[in-house]
């Protein structure tokens, strides 16, 4: 029996995703490959969630929000979902470059496919690092080509963005230097892919993308 790792409904066939991409979405909850990957990270690897954990979730997906809230409720943790443009599944409308939270407010931050939309991604990364507790963890995913450096141009017209960055609302395509952008803001960074995290059988079973990237970042503990 195959169940979607995000919503736990039994799935006989994965549905199409954006642009008609085959085997991309759960027919029940709509979870895409990256959402299923994140759900498996939590469910199978038992990472990052403990009692009293405070979680900040950027641009939340409905089913991943439910999953996180369900796991947090078991230990009395707290969840805050934020977005600037889409208010369907959020607790607060915020600008990622100017977060309204105190320093060191969150134990875990989930930020999937956000930074490629933001002109000043450096400010957004600094804010993410600021509100993360020392020793806290941040899971980040962006479009990335590891064989080249970041290509970016916020002034590019929409037609050019589609060709260069993959979508009209993207202003960059990250490269191998993305790790340095994270480390420059005090985040100890480990880069992994879906191939590192899951077996061939698991990736095929849940229709995960080959070599889907994931940056696991930890904020250094304050010096004593």
183-203: pLDDT as tens digits: 999 999 999 999 999 999 999
Q: Which of 6-15, 33-42, 120-129 has the highest mean pLDDT?
A: 120-129
**Beta bridge pairs of residue 192:** 214
DSSP tag of 95 = B
Rounded CA-CA distance 24/83 in Å is: 23
- Least confident among 61-65, 156-160, 216-220: 61-65
Domain limits of the chain?
31-219
| C-alpha 31: how far from chain center | 13
Tens digits of per-residue pLDDT, 56-69? 999 887 877 887 88
Cβ(54)–Cβ(137) under 8 Å? no
Q: Which residue has the higher pLDDT, 27 or 85?
A: 27
Q: Cα(198)–Cα(160) distance, rounded to whole angstroms?
A: 35
Q: Which residue has the higher pLDDT, 206 or 77?
A: 206
Give the pLDDT confidence of 117-128 residue by residue, as tens digits. Answer: 999 999 999 999
- pTM of the model as a whole: 0.89
Q: Which CATH architecture has domain 31-219?
A: 3-Layer(aba) Sandwich (3.40)
Phi and psi at 209, nearest 5°, equal -70, 145
Six-digit token pair at 187? 């985040």
Dihedral (CA of 94, 95, 96, 99) sign: negative
pLDDT at 22 over 70: yes
């Amino acid at each position: 029996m195959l169940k979607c790792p995000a919503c736990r409904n039994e799935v006989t066939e994965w549905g199409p995703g954006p642009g008609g991409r085959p085997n991309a979405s759960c027919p029940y909850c709509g979870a895409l490959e990256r959402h299923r990957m994140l759900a498996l990270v939590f469910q199978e690897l038992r990472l990052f969630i403990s009692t009293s954990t405070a979680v900040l979730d950027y641009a939340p997906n409905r089913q991943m929000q439910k999953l996180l809230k369900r796991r947090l409720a078991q230990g009395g943790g707290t969840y805050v979902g934020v977005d600037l443009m889409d208010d369907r599944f959020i607790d607060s409308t915020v600008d990622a470059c100017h977060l309204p939270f105190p320093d060191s407010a969150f134990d875990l931050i989930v930020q999937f496919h956000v930074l490629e939309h933001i002109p000043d991604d450096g400010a957004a990364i600094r804010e993410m690092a600021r509100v993360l507790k020392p020793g806290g963890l941040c899971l980040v995913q962006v479009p990335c080509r590891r064989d080249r450096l970041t290509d970016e141009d916020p002034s590019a017209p929409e037609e050019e963005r589609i060709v260069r960055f993959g979508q009209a609302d993207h202003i960059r395509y990250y490269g191998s230097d993305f790790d340095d952008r994270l480390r420059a803001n005090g985040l100890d960074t480990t880069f992994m892919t879906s191939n590192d995290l899951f077996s061939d059988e698991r990736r095929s079973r849940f229709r995960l993308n080959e070599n889907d990237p994931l940056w696991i970042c930890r904020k250094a503990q304050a010096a004593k």
